[in-house]
Amino acid sequence: MELTISNVAALIALLVSISATYNAYVLRGGRLAWSQVLTALGTVCLMFSLVLPQSAILVKLTAQLGNFSTTLSGLLYILGFLLLFSGSLKLRASLK
């Protein structure tokens, strides 16, 4: 695995999101934790949608598949926004 800037940024963001998800679930529990988990997953999906097109590993793997990386990037982008939206709705519902 080559250590490019995009790979390092993806790894750091993934580790921070895993840590935030674990802390939210263990320390808070309940409905408020699920809103933070959804927000962290949405952030991870958005990060991967930005990093995947520049990733050298994915370019090597999908060279034969055509526009797979573009389609996957777009799907992760949409999924990230949907997870962020559902996380904000859960947060609003849990604070009522």
- Hey, where are the domains in the chain? 5-94
pLDDT tens digits for range 39-72: 888 888 888 787 777 766 666 666 666 655 567 7
Instruction: Evaluate whether 90 touches 35 at the Cβ level (below 8 Å).
Output: yes
Answering whether pTM is above 0.75, one says no
Instruction: Evaluate whether 24 touches 37 at the Cβ level (below 8 Å).
Output: yes
pLDDT tens digits for range 68-86: 556 777 888 899 899 989 9
Instruction: Evaluate whether 48 touches 24 at the Cβ level (below 8 Å).
Output: no
